[in-house]
Structure 1
Amino acid sequence: MARTDVPQQQGEPDGPRRSDRTPEGAGPPPLPPTPPGASEATRLLCAGAYLDDTFRDTVIDELYIHEERFAAPSLGIDAARVLAHALRARRLELSWAAAILLLWIAAIPLSAGLVVLYLFPIVLMALGRAVRRAPIPRWLAVLCAFVLCWYGRLSLTLYCLSLLVVACGGANVNVDWMFLPLPDALNPLTSGAPDGSGSYGSSPSEGALSQGMVASALGGGIGVTTLLPVWIALLLPLALAVIVALQRGQFARALAHELSRERFPDVMSDPAERARSHRSRRLRERVRVEQHGPLVMYRAAHPFCGAGYPYKTWSLAVELNPRADRDPEPLDNGAILARIIPLVAALRVPSPHGSPGAAAVRDRLRALEIDECVFLPAEGLPTRAAAPYAPAEFEGHRAAAVEEGGETRRHFLRIRIGGWDEGIVTTLFVRVHTQGGMLMLEVAPHVLLPLRQLFQDADRLAHQYRHHDRFGKAVWALSHTPRSAGNAPLTLLRGLLPSWQLGTAGHGVALPEGPGASVRELGSFGESSLFQDMDVARYLGTVQQRVVAGVTTALREAGYQTAEFEQRVVHVAEGGVYIESAQGAVGVGDHNTITHNTPHRDSD
Structure 2
Amino acid sequence: MLPLLDTPAYTPAATLNDTTRWLCGAPYLDPDFGNAVIREVVESERKAVPPSYGFDLDPVVRHCLRARRLLLIRYALVTAILVLGLCLNAFATVTWLALCGAIVGFRSPAVRELPRSVRLGALAALGALVLCALGYVVLQTVLTSLTDPFGSTGTFDEDYGQVSPGLSATLIVAPVGLAAIMFLALFLSRRHAYGVLTTELAPGIAATAPHTGNQRVEWRLGVVAAMQRGNICVQDINPFTGAGWVEHSWSFATSLRARDGGERISIDSADLNQRVHDAVLGLRDTELRAGERISNVYVVPYVAADGNRRGDDPLINPRTRTPHTMASPETIAAVMGSPQGGLRHYLRAVVPATGKPIQTPDGRLVLPAQDSGIGVTAFVHLAVEGGMLYTEFVSTVMPQVKPLCQLVDNLRPERVPHQAAAHTLLAFVRDNVLGPAYLARLGWDTLRLPGRMARSARRADEYRFYDYGAHFSVRELAAQRPTVRFMQVLDAEKYIKLLDRVVTDTVLAYLDEHGVDTTEFRSAVTTVSIGNATFHGGQQNFGSRATNIQTTVAAPRARTTGGTRG
TM bin, normalised by shorter chain, reads 0.7 to 0.9
1:301-341, CA deviations, whole angstroms, 9 ceiling, x for partnerless residues? Answer: 23322222212210011111224499987412101011111
Equivalent AA in structure 1 for residue 31 of structure 2: D
Which residue does 2:5 correspond to in 1? none
- Alignment deviations for residues 527-546 of structure 1 (CA, whole Å, 9 cap, x no partner): 11221111111111111222
Q: Deviations over 1:96-119 (max 9, x none)?
A: 100111122233334576534432
Distance 2:448 2:156 in 1: 43
Residue-by-residue CA offset, 1:28-83 (whole Å, 9 max, x unaligned): xxxxxx97983322222222211112222111111111223211233322222221
Q: Which has the higher strand share?
A: 2
Distance between the aligned counterparts of 1:337 and 1:36, measured in 2?
35
Matched, 1:69 2:50: no
Pairing partner for 1:500 from 442, 448, 453: 448
Gapped regions of structure 1 (runs ≥ 5) = 1-33, 175-195, 200-210, 591-604
Contact preservation (8 Å) 2:190, 2:420: no
Distance in 1 between the 2:270 and 2:93 partners? 75
Q: Say if 1:125 and 1:153, in contact at 8 Å, map to a contact too.
A: no
Aligned to 1:172: 143
2:345 aligned with 1:414: no
Instruction: Tell me which residue corresponds to 2:33.
Output: 55
CA, structure 1 residues 99+442, in 2 after alignment: closer, same or farther (shift >3 Å)? same
1:317 aligns with 2:253: yes
Q: Does 1:126 align with 2:104?
A: yes
Q: Is the contact made by 1:314 and 1:443 (CA closer than 8 Å) also made in structure 2?
A: yes
Aligned letter for 1:305? Answer: T
Matched, 1:248 2:190: yes
Q: Measure the CA separation in 1 of the matches of 2:492 and 2:126.
A: 47
Residue in 2 aligned with 1:438?
Answer: 388
How big is the shift at 1:463?
5.8
Distance 1:50 1:387, change over 3 A: closer
Aligned counterparts of 1:76 and 1:214: Cα–Cα separation in 2? 71
Give the counterpart of 1:555 among 511, 520, 527: 511
Instruction: Map 1:139-178 to 2 at 5 A.
Output: 139-140=116-117, 142-143=119-120, 146-147=123-124, 158=134, 162=138, 166=141, 171-172=142-143
Alignment of structure 1 residues 227-238 onto 2, 5 Å: 227-238=169-180
Q: Alpha-carbon deviation of 1:573?
A: 5.0
Of residues 524, 529, 537, the one that matches 2:479 is 524
- Say if 2:62 is the partner of 1:84: yes
* Alignment-derived partner of residue 274 in structure 1: 211
Query: Which residue number in structure 2 is paired with residue 8 of structure 1?
Result: none
- Identity over the aligned pairs, expressed in percent? 24
Q: Distance in 2 between matches of 1:340 and 1:88?
A: 45
Instruction: Tell me the alpha carbon deviations over residues 151-186 of structure 1, each in whole angstroms, 9 at most, x when there is no partner.
Output: 687788x589959x95xxxx3379xxxxxxxxxxxx
Partner of 2:367: none
Gaps in structure 2 of 5+ consecutive residues: 1-11, 355-370, 461-465, 537-547, 561-566
Shift of the 479–435 alpha-carbon distance from structure 1 to 2, 3 Å rule, reads closer
Distance (whole Å) between structure 2 residues aligned to residue 362 and residue 144 of structure 1: 66
Q: What is the one-letter code of the residue matched to 1:377?
A: D
How far, CA to CA, are the matches of 1:492 and 1:152 in structure 2?
Answer: 29
Distance 1:277 1:587 in 2: 59
Counterpart residue type for residue 46 of structure 1: C
Query: Is 1:370 matched with 2:299?
Result: yes
1:432: how far off?
0.6
Taking a change above 3 Å as real, the CA distance of residues 36 and 346 of structure 1, as seen in their structure-2 partners, is farther
Counterpart AA for 1:389:
H
Cα distance change on mapping 1:198 and 1:439 into 2, 3 Å = farther
Contact map agreement 2:372 2:488 (CA 8 A) in 1? no
Q: Which residue of 2 aligns with 1:565?
A: 521
For the residue of structure 2 that corresponds to 1:455, the secondary structure is coil
1:107 maps to what in 2? Answer: 85
What is the number of equivalent residue pairs in this alignment? 498
1:192-229 per-position Cα deviation (integer Å, ceiling 9, x unaligned): xxxx9779xxxxxxxxxxx979999x978637566544
Deviation per CA, 1:246-299: give whole Å up to 9, x if none: 122123212210121232xx22xx2x4333322332222222222231122222
SS in 1 for 2:352: strand
Judged with a 3 Å threshold, the aligned counterparts in structure 2 of structure 1 residues 37 and 297 are, in CA distance, closer, same or farther, namely farther
Once residues 103 and 228 of structure 1 are traced to their aligned partners in structure 2, the CA distance between those partners, rounded to angstroms, is 16
RMSD of the alignment, in Å?
Answer: 4.0
Deviation at 1:351, TM superposition (A): 5.8
Counterpart of 1:428? Answer: 378
Structure with greater Cα Rg = 1
The DSSP-based 3-state class of the residue aligned with 1:440 is strand
Q: Whole-Å Cα distance in 2 between the matches of residues 102 and 249 of structure 1? A: 20
Question: 2:107 is paired with a residue of what secondary structure?
Answer: helix
Question: Bigger shift: 449-458 or 86-95?
Answer: 449-458
CA distance in 1, matches of 2:68, 2:49: 21
- Matched with 1:485 is 432
Alpha carbons of structure 1 residues 251 and 350: separation in structure 2 relative to 1, 3 Å: farther
Equivalent residue, structure 2, for 1:542:
498
Distance of aligned partners of 1:332 and 1:362 in 2 relative to their CA distance in 1, 3 Å threshold: closer
* Contact 1:39 1:422 (8 Å CA) reproduced: no
How far did residue 142 of structure 1 move?
4.7
2:235 touches 2:471 (CA, 8 Å); kept in 1? no
Paired residue secondary structure (1:367): coil
Q: Does the CA-based 8 Å contact 2:335-2:341 persist in structure 1?
A: no
1:441 CA drift (Å) = 0.5
TM-score scaled to structure 2, two decimals? 0.76
Deviation at residue 93 of structure 1 after TM alignment: 0.5
Letter in 2 for 1:242: L
Alignment map for 1:39-54 (pairs within 5 Å): 39-54=17-32
